[in-house]
Chains A and B, each alone.
Chain A
């Protein structure tokens, strides 16, 4: 009964979406207030229906209702409760439903918190948001119904893919989708602006918080996925330039560009067309990210279920959304003329360069990811792997990071480069010191050492800008403190995010350059020394888990005879699917991870053991967290919550909106 309620609610949601996608849009065109006002209750109603459907599916999972085909294929009665819940979105149909749910949540958020938006803009945004919902609800209902029944029901379910039975991957999809779908807001605002033919500072102020929120979630989602790959696959790597990773990284790159170009629109009334285009492209890439790997078009190492059968529907949906919005852009963009002037050396130019480099970086990732498709069009099969991406991506990101430290110090319109460089003395000194230190410690090639120098340049540069704004050390500390308190939160946020990027770069460069790897057969009692640590295999025991059996090794790690830690890497066999998985053991020292994984027994009392010394990997996670934190701090800025400078007519209830937000 409950699954049918869910199915019915989903159909009702489609009906509401059709209404919300049409009447308010017409109302906005004809100036009918009542029609426009329909959008908000419709958005809330849509959320209620989609949430009902989602909860119904979750209920089926939690109660192990195997009469629902989706549950029977992806769950099992012995599954721990957490994974029964996460199983709801651990499959194609359920993840579509999650996508739709998040879309509805964002729509409802505009309805709730958007009371300071001009009525026509709000109506149009909600309508566009609803067009997206219509596409996905139709996709879900007509091709991927999560509530389809199965008769006769199997005695037990086929179990969730064991690799998905992991806390990291349980929360990775919702985070990632919050990011992907979050960019739909920027998209809806962009389309609404194109229809209205107006982009102004107020518009940018509304777009920015949504983009920022989406960016934070996407950053978290990517980091979580990367972290999962790191500890769960047992390969010791955290990024493989695999299509699945790339498709989430491309919207991140463009989203980052959008975040920065929206500032220029807001403050200087320039770059309008470009910002609108970025908003369209970012969401388009998010859509591609959701689908391209799923469609089976690209071979991925990480891909889970693929379903080429649904490819045509997906392709039509993508073409309609991307093609339609780009066409609208081509027709309407010339109407968005305008903009403040700026000199070649100015904050605007810095941000333009930022956008240019990020967009080009995104384009190279796109070309590399899609290369197999291009090659096939020319009749041969080929791919490009990590070497291609390292060769193209690194040279593009290097200048970006170099100017990233300078940009925030440049003033709007016309900047004094000599003065700015003068303020970078500390950063320059730190860069030289870090390079020399890295060279001394590694004794190795210059490249990675320069990478460390670049990170130090960015870190100290970001801090110098912040210190300059609060006049640290130049006035009495209490005065600096007062200045720090009155500094807008978005300024603190930017410093945090930029510094976080620097921390992440240290981790990325360090782990890519100085990793030590050892693979060997070990018998109980054997030891091996890796990067100054001694690993001794004490034994391997059979352990029974809730739905798996595991070979758990016990490895004592010592350094110069002093105990460091005991590691227990596992090799699990999930009994229902007869599928083995690797559970790496990781001990972090803060500066490096000690990483062990075990493989098959060799049949003569030994086990294959992989020992990695992973320098600076924890810094990647720390940097990602700092970046997210920076975004969150910036989001809490009062100016963003109050929203906008007023347009032509003042919104009467700005104050209440701020209170609610």
Chain B
């Protein structure tokens, strides 16, 4: 085989792997992309019920209740202009607190309750997820906590 041919084989092989990977990535994006909504956006337009999405905001003060089984927690996520009821079964992250930022992932139930299968915690209590900060800014409720320190 000539040098040119050898290189051609290499390049063709590379292209094959690359195009397979591109196809894979595109399909994976389509299948798994998780959109983020704030409570106001959900109030304005209900997201499709069959798809999982992320809901973020602040845990509403005084809204956290434990169900009788002791494991299911109900609370409301708010951006201070709208709020959405959420239920979650499991142990909440250590830094889950009322009034703090939270990002939950799950699906919208038929009764308008968001059923979370994941509640994202932050390791640092000064840390506000960016999506939450943006949602608060959008709803006009941002208290300028830019000066976090």
Q: Which residues of A contact B (CB under 8 A)?
A: 73, 161, 163, 234, 296-297, 299, 301-306, 341-344, 349, 352-353, 356-357, 360, 363-364, 367-368, 371, 375, 380-385, 387-388, 391-392, 395-396, 519-521, 577, 579-582, 597, 599-600, 602-604, 606, 608, 610
> Is B33 interfacial (CB 8 A cutoff)?
yes
Given contacts A349-B10, A360-B17, contact A388 B123 (CB under 8 A): no
CB of B43 within 8 Å of the partner chain: no
Set A384, A396, A581, A599: member contacting B24, Cβ < 8 A: A396
B21 pairs with A364, CB closer than 8 A: yes
Q: Is the pair B127, A306 in contact by a Cβ cutoff of 8 Å?
A: yes
Interface residues of B in 59-101 (CB under 8 A from A): 66, 69-71, 89-92, 94-95
Known contacts A303-B123, A343-B6, A349-B10: does B27 contact A391 (CB below 8 Å)?
Answer: yes
Task: State whether B122 touches A608 (Cβ < 8 A).
Answer: no
The answer to whether B94 touches A384 (Cβ under 8 A) is: no
Q: Are A302 and B123 in contact (CB under 8 A)?
A: yes
Main secondary structure of the interface of B (DSSP, over half): mixed
Cα distance, A486 to B53, chains bound together (Å) = 59
- Find out whether the CB atom of B91 lies under 8 angstroms from the CB atom of A599: yes
Residues A388 and B28 in contact in the complex (CB < 8 Å), given A163-B123, A299-B103, A301-B122: yes
- B107-149 vs A: 1/0 string, CB under 8 Å? 0000000000000111111110111001000000000000001
In the assembled complex, how far is the CB of residue A285 from the closest CB belonging to chain B, in whole angstroms? 18
Contacting residues, chain A, for B24 (C-beta < 8 A): 364, 391-392, 395-396
A384–B13 CA distance with the chains assembled, in angstroms:
29
A606 contacts B121, CB within 8 Å?
no
Q: Specify the chain A residue showing the minimal Cβ separation from B132.
A: A299
A301–B70 contact, CB under 8 A?
no
The reply to whether the CB of B50 lies closer than 8 angstroms to some CB of chain A is no
Distance in angstroms from A426 CB to nearest chain B CB is: 28
Does B3 lie within 8 Å of A341, measured CB to CB? yes
Contacts of A520 on B, CB cut-off 8 Å? 71
Contacts A360-B17, A364-B25, A602-B66 hold; do A391 and B32 have CB atoms under 8 A apart? yes
Once the chains bind, are A360 and B18 in contact (CB under 8 Å)? Answer: yes
Is B71 in contact with A582, judged by CB distance below 8 angstroms?
Answer: no
The size bracket of the interface on B is: 35 or more
Q: Which residue of B is nearest A352, CB measured? A: B10
CB contacts (< 8 Å) of B44 on chain A: these are none
Contacts of A580 in B (CB 8 A): 94-95
Q: Judge whether B35 and A597 touch: CB under 8 Å.
A: no
Interface pair A388/B29, CB less than 8 Å apart: yes
Residues of B within 8 A of A342 (CB): 6
The residue from A299, A360, A387, A519 contacting B91, defined by CB atoms under 8 A apart: A519
Which of B31, B90, B91, B124 is most buried by chain A, counting CB atoms within 10 A of its CB? B91
CB distance from B22 to the nearest CB of A (A): 9
Task: Provide the bound-state CA to CA distance between A608 and B71, in Å.
Answer: 7
Partner of A161, one of B54, B90, B120, B123: B123
Q: List 10 A-B contacts (CB under 8 A).
A: A161-B123, A296-B130, A305-B127, A343-B6, A344-B1, A364-B21, A364-B28, A368-B28, A382-B36, A384-B34
Question: Is B34 a contact partner of A382 (Cβ separation < 8 A)?
Answer: yes
- From the candidates B1, B14, B92, name the one contacting A343 in the complex (CB within 8 A): B1
Nearest 3 pairs of A and B residues by beta carbon: A381-B36, A521-B70, A599-B91
A352 cross-chain contacts in B, Cβ below 8 A:
10
List, in ascending order, chain A residues with CB within 8 A of B94's CB: 234, 579-582
Task: Find B131's partner among A299, A344, A602 (CB 8 Å cutoff).
Answer: A299
Expressed in whole angstroms, the minimum distance between the Cβ of A224 and any Cβ of chain B is 16
Task: Find chain B residues with CB under 8 A from A368 CB.
Answer: 28
> Does A388 contact B17, Cβ atoms closer than 8 Å?
no
Please tell me if the beta carbons of A299 and B129 are within 8 angstroms of each other in the complex.
yes
CA distance A514 to B134 in the complex (A): 39
Return chain B residues, CB-CB under 8 Å to A304.
Answer: 123-124, 127
Q: Kindly list 8 other residue pairs between chains A and B, CB separation below 8 angstroms, not including A384-B34, A600-B92.
A: A303-B122, A305-B127, A344-B10, A352-B10, A382-B35, A384-B32, A519-B91, A581-B94
**A603 closest partner in B (C-beta):** B66
Q: Is the CB of B71 within 8 A of A383?
A: no
Instruction: Give the CA-CA distance A334 to B14 in the complex, in Å.
Output: 20
How many Å from the CB of B99 to the closest CB on chain A? Answer: 14
A interface SS class = mixed
Q: CA A575 – CA B94 in complex, angstroms?
A: 14
The reply to whether A384 and B127 form a contact with Cβ atoms under 8 Å apart is no
Asked if B25 contacts A367 (CB within 8 A), the reply is yes
Residue among B28, B54, B92, B122 making CB contact with A383, cutoff 8 Å: B54
Tell me which residues across on chain B come within 8 A of A234, comparing CB atoms. 91, 94
> Does the CB pair B21–A360 fall under 8 Å?
yes
Whole-angstrom CA separation of A349 from B12 in the bound complex: 13
Nearest CB of chain A from residue B141's CB, rounded to whole Å: 17
Q: Is the CB of B130 within 8 A of A519?
A: no
Q: How far is the CA of A301 from the CA of B33 in the complex (A)?
A: 18
Contacting pair B91 A608 (CB below 8 A): yes
Complex CA–CA separation, A297 to B129 (angstroms): 10
**Which chain B residue shows the least CB distance to A298?**
B130
Residues in chain B near residue A395, CB distance under 8 A: 24
- A602 in contact with B70 (CB, 8 Å): yes
**Do the beta carbons of A521 and B69 come within 8 Å of each other?**
yes
Instruction: Report the nearest A residue to B103, measured CB to CB.
Output: A299
Partner pick for B71 among A306, A521, A579, A581, CB 8 A cutoff: A521
B28 and A384 within 8 A (CB): yes
Closest to A309 in B: B146
Tell me whether A382 and B33 are in contact (CB under 8 A). Answer: yes
**In contact, B6 and A341 (Cβ under 8 angstroms):** yes
In the assembled complex, which residues on chain A have CB atoms less than 8 Å from the CB atom of B37? 381
**A360–B16 alpha-carbon span in the complex (Å):** 12
Q: Are B131 and A381 in contact (CB under 8 A)?
A: yes
Asked whether A303 lies within 8 Å of B91 as measured between CB atoms, the reply is: no
Whether B126 and A384, one on each chain, are in contact in the complex, defined by CB atoms closer than 8 angstroms, is: no
Contacts of B6 in A (CB 8 A): 341-344
Nearest Cβ in chain B — how far from A464, in angstroms? 26
B130 close to A299 (CB less than 8 A) = yes
Q: Which residue of A lies closest to B33 (CB)?
A: A382
Most buried by A among B14, B21, B103: B21
Determine if A387 and B1 form an interchain contact, defined as CB atoms under 8 angstroms apart: no
Chain B residue numbers with a CB within 8 Å of A349 are: 10
Q: In the assembled complex, how far is the CB of residue B9 from the closest CB belonging to chain A, in whole angstroms?
A: 5
Residues of A within 8 A of B91 (CB): 234, 519, 597, 599-600, 608, 610
Which residues in B have their C-beta under 8 angstroms from that of A296?
130
Q: Give A368 to B1 CA distance when docked, in angstroms.
A: 40
Chain A residues in 8 Å Cβ range of B129: 299
With a cutoff of 8 Å between Cβ atoms, the chain A residues found around residue B122 in the complex are 301, 303
Q: Which residue of A lies closest to B129 (CB)?
A: A299
In Å, the complex CA distance between A163 and B17 comes to: 42
Residues of B with C-beta under 8 A to A303: 122-124, 127
Cβ–Cβ < 8 Å partners of B21 in chain A: 360, 363-364, 392, 396
Residues of B within 8 A of A600 (CB): 91-92
Q: Is the CB of B124 within 8 A of A305?
A: yes
A542 to B31, CA, bound (A): 47
Nearest-neighbour CB distance to chain A for B112, whole angstroms, equals: 21
